[in-house]
Amino acid sequence: MEFYAIMNIFEIIMGIILLIMAIFLVVAILMQSGKDKRLSGTIAGGAETFFGKEKASTMDKMLSKVTTIVAIVFAVLVMVMYIIQGL
C-alpha cells in the first residue's frame, strides 16, 4: 500500500511541474520575435525599443535556447508520466 501512496504523490508533483513548464513554454514562445516581422514585430516590438536592438537580439537567443531545453525536458517528462501510468 505504501508504494501506491508514494506513486500518487510522485504523480501529483510531476503533474504540477508539467503544468508550470507548459505555461512557461506558452509564455516563452509568445515573447520570442519571429523571423517574419509583420505580426510578431507588433507583439514583441516593444522589447526592441525598450532594450535596444542588440539586447533584444541577445534576449531572443537566450530565450530560444531556454525554450528548446524546457521543451525537451517537457517531452521527456510526459513520456515518463505515460510509462508510470501503466504501472
- Span 45-80, pLDDT tens digits: 555 555 555 666 788 889 899 999 999 999 999 999
Is the pTM higher than 0.75? The answer reads: no
Taking the C-alpha atoms of residue 85 and residue 87, their distance in angstroms, rounded to an integer, is 6
Band of pLDDT at residue 86, cut at 50, 70 and 90? confident
Taking the C-alpha atoms of residue 79 and residue 73, their distance in angstroms, rounded to an integer, is 10
Phi (first) and psi of residue 2, to 5 degrees = -65, -35
Phi (first) and psi of residue 36, to 5 degrees = -90, 115
